Structures are given as structure tokens and as C-alpha cells.
Amino acid sequence: MRLSFLFLFFGIFLILVTASEDNETSEERNEKSNEVDNDASTSIEDEEYDEDDDESNPFSFDEDDEDEDREVDEIVDSKPIDYEGDPIGEWEDEEPLEPLDLDSEDEEELGDDKDDFIEFHKTFKENVKKANMKQTVQNFKINNKELKELQNEKKNFKIGKSPFMYMSQKEIDGLFAPDSMFENRPKPTKMLKSGLKMIKNEHKRSARGARRQPRRRTRKVKLPKNFDWRTKNVLSPIRDQGSCGSCWAFSATAPIEAAYARKYKKKIDLSEEQLQCVYNEGTMCTGGHPETALNYLLNSKGQATEKSIPYKGCRNSTCRRNINVAVQLESFADLKPFQMAKVKHALIKNGPISFGMHVNQDFHYYESGIFDAPCTSANKGGHAMTIVGYGEENGTPYWIVRNQWGTNWGEKGYMRVIAGVDLCGIESRYMYQVAVK
């Protein structure tokens, strides 16, 4: 009887001890949670990646590297770069705008859309050959009707005329690449480390002396609410890919130009046309992938200037193999798996990011505001662009995105896309950064 009582007493004691330790564990977790910024845009969760996998993880850094935050602070506080001399490569002037040659039949066909068509022509400076005028007028009427229907819908952003309203729906869809194009694509051959290091928690003991298991913890990262590479004077002028599905070439090139400007304090205009060599000749306008372009540049001599190989934006271009190299790529990295603070930190430290997302019906009519229209199964395909900054407006976080549809599209060639919700795959498809030699 006495032995049974002792067993019962010992069992109750174990239950009380376990409950006490569970409460301590909960308190410790709450304390640790309070040590980390609760804002998803400024805190880091390290469970998604292995910090010991140095070869494949662009975010792994030596724990004793104490200069990371200081380097980022210096970039954020730095003044715009003051360049000496003219840019390398020489940007070409825009093609002069020719007057519209509308006959009476064209005007009758346009009807109430005539004024909109004239405004479109002046805004986007799209020269239309007389032989193509009738088809162009028909295409514009269809697209303008779609635009007006979309404008009647309630949206959080503003939409307006698109630079492609003169094209047929089939031609517009041809600007965006299907996902099937990116299957079995090659992997990057080198990785660029980003500017984020993690801190491991030391082994702790409870007040009762019981040894705690080591736990990886997050670290508070001091990131500004807004950051924009446009304010640092490292970005080249907005380009215009025209009616060619070459977004992938511009998306790959823009970060290289920015990396060169930051490193050598000199702006450069690099040749997207050279990337005709990445795939088979004559296929530049049928879509591609920035990763394939970066692999090509990494394993070739390098990239030439726009002046030496001007952009044509047509389907009958040929590959130029004898070139004068202006920039050599040292490495590039894919920033996935995505985590907000990691990518923001990398954006500040390593420069603009080549990325891709799906586009929907609203996308090419975007004019201003924070774009937040979700994609559906009816999206038009993939489109590659460049992230150059981030910010927040009325509590809504966004990415600052550089497109290559001219300065009259969007917010002077840029757009803001809602961040943190993987809108249309913006944070899950691919995100590449580069370093130049």
C-alpha cells in the first residue's frame, strides 16, 4: 500500500514538472517572438532554408561577418552617383513620329473611337504603315472596347491606353511566353551570395538545470520602409521592346547595367540584340528566359554595347558572334525560396532583380497605382521585368517594377505591384541577381 502511494506521488510530481516546463517553453517562445519585428516585411524566418548549405544557398553568410548591416546602411544613405563623361554605348534617339494617314473609310470605321485612336498615336508614337491601316483600325476598336469595359469595373489602380492597342489579340498574346518554354531549363552555374546572415541561438538551460535543445532563431533586420534604385542614379533609361516578345533579354540586361554602374561609376547601354545568340537565330521575339540569357553571358565572352549591336526587335535577326565585349558577368543567383526580408535586403545590397510573373487582362492597360489584379487560368502568359525597389502606401506594400514598354506606359515606364501575396507568381517563379567582373 505504501509502495503504491509512492508511485502515485511520483507520477503527480512528474506531471507538475512537465506542465511547468511547458509553460516556460511557451513564455520563452513569446519572449523570442517579441524580439523579432512582427512586420512580415522586416523579419526573417529561417526555417525555409538550410544555412549550412553554402553552395546552393545565396543567403548563407559567415556568422562573424558584422559588416552586413553597415554596408546596407551606407547604400540606403548614399547620394546618387555622380558620373564623369558620357554613358558607354550611346542610347539611340526615338524614331520620329509620322502623321496619321486616315482616309474616309478609316474614319468611318473608327466612328466614336477616332479621337481615342489619334490620342493613342500621339502618346505611344506608333507609326502605322498605310498598307496596315485598316487592320490596325479594326484591332484598335476591339481593344478600346475592352479597355472601356475594364474602366467601368471598380479597381484599386488606374488603367488607360496600352502601347499594343494597334495589335490583334493573337499578336498581343505572342508577347508573353508560355510556361512550357521554361521546362528543363539549365541551372545557374555559379551563385552570388546575398547580404543576409543568420544568427544561431546558443544552447540554453532552464532554471531547473534541464538542457534545452538548440533552436534556430530569427534576427531583427533593420530595413527602410522604402527603397528605390531610381534615386541612386544607377538605372539606364527605360527601353521599348516594341512588338517583339523579347522581355527576357531586357530583364536579364537591366541588372547587369545597374551592377556595372555601381561598380565602375559609369553608365552603360548594353545590347539586348546580342542575346539573339541565346536560342536559335530568328527566335528572339518568340519568348525566352532570363536565366538562359544569364547562363549564356556567364559562359561566353560577355555582353557588347547597344551601339555595337543595335536592337532591331524583329524576327529575322541573326546572331553576331564576333563582338567587342564591354561587360563580363561574374556570377548570378536565384533568390528563391522567397522570403520578404531576405529579398528586400538582397535588393539593397546587390542591386535590381530580374524576375517574371504572369500577366492578365488588366496588366497591359496599367496606368498608375498599386497593381493588385489576380491572375486566373485565362492569363496571357509569362512576362519578365526588373524589380528596382519597394515601398508602402496606406499600409499596402509594393514592389517597384521596371518594364520595357517605353516611358508612356504605366508610371513613366514603371509600375507598382502589391508585395507579399505572390500576385501572379511575382515571388515564386524566379528572381535573379548578378555581379559583374
Preceding peptide of 352 cis, ω within 30°: no
Average pLDDT, the chain: 78
Rank 89-93, 117-121, 254-258 by mean pLDDT and report only the highest: 254-258
| More confident position, 46 or 133 | 133
Q: For residue 70, what pLDDT band results from cuts at 50, 70 and 90?
A: confident
Q: What is the pLDDT of residue 131?
A: 84
Mean pLDDT (whole number) for 319-338: 90
Mean pLDDT (whole number) for 220-246: 90
Residue among 255, 286, 257 nearest 269 (CA)? 257
Q: Which amino acid is at 270?
A: L
Query: Measured between alpha carbons, how far is 87 from 89 in angstroms, rounded to an integer?
Result: 6
pLDDT higher than threshold 90 for residue 204: no
In this structure, of 61-65, 153-157, 312-316, the range with the lowest mean pLDDT score is: 61-65
pLDDT higher than threshold 80 for residue 26: no
From residue 240, alpha-carbon distances to 127, 237, 247 in Å are 14, 10, 9
The tens digit of pLDDT for each residue in 359-395 reads 998 998 999 999 999 998 767 789 999 999 999 999 9
Domain assignments of the chain as residue spans, ordered by start: 104-154, 173-194+216-436
The tens digit of pLDDT for each residue in 105-150 reads 988 999 999 999 999 998 988 888 888 899 999 999 999 999 999 9
Q: What is the largest CA-CA distance in the chain?
A: 112
Mean pLDDT (whole number) for 33-47: 32
| More confident position, 306 or 37 | 306
Q: Are 434 and 261 within 8 A, CB to CB?
A: no
Phi-psi region of 325 (alpha: psi -120 to 50; beta: other; left: phi over 0): beta
Q: What is the pLDDT of residue 69?
A: 75
Active-site annotation, residues:
247, 383, 403
Q: For residue 93, what pLDDT band results from cuts at 50, 70 and 90?
A: low
The tens digit of pLDDT for each residue in 172-181 reads 988 887 665 5
Residue among 241, 262, 352, 251 nearest 293 (CA)? 251
Q: What is the pLDDT of residue 97?
A: 76
Mean pLDDT (whole number) for 326-355: 94
Q: What is the pLDDT of residue 402?
A: 98
Element (H, E) at 69: helix 68-77
Query: Measured between alpha carbons, how far is 248 from 297 in angstroms, rounded to an integer?
Result: 13
Q: For residue 50, what pLDDT band results from cuts at 50, 70 and 90?
A: very low
Q: What is the pLDDT of residue 202?
A: 29
Q: For residue 220, what pLDDT band results from cuts at 50, 70 and 90?
A: low
Q: How far is CA 220 from the centre of its chain?
A: 24
φ, ψ for residue 227 (rounded to 5)? -150, 135
pLDDT higher than threshold 50 for residue 199: no
Query: Measured between alpha carbons, how far is 401 from 385 in angstroms, rounded to an integer?
Result: 7
The tens digit of pLDDT for each residue in 409-428 reads 999 999 999 999 999 999 99
Q: Are 58 and 333 within 8 A, CB to CB?
A: yes
The CATH H-level (homologous superfamily) assignment of domain 173-194+216-436 is Cysteine proteinases (3.90.70.10)
From residue 352, alpha-carbon distances to 69, 242, 266, 284, 417 in Å are 18, 22, 16, 23, 15
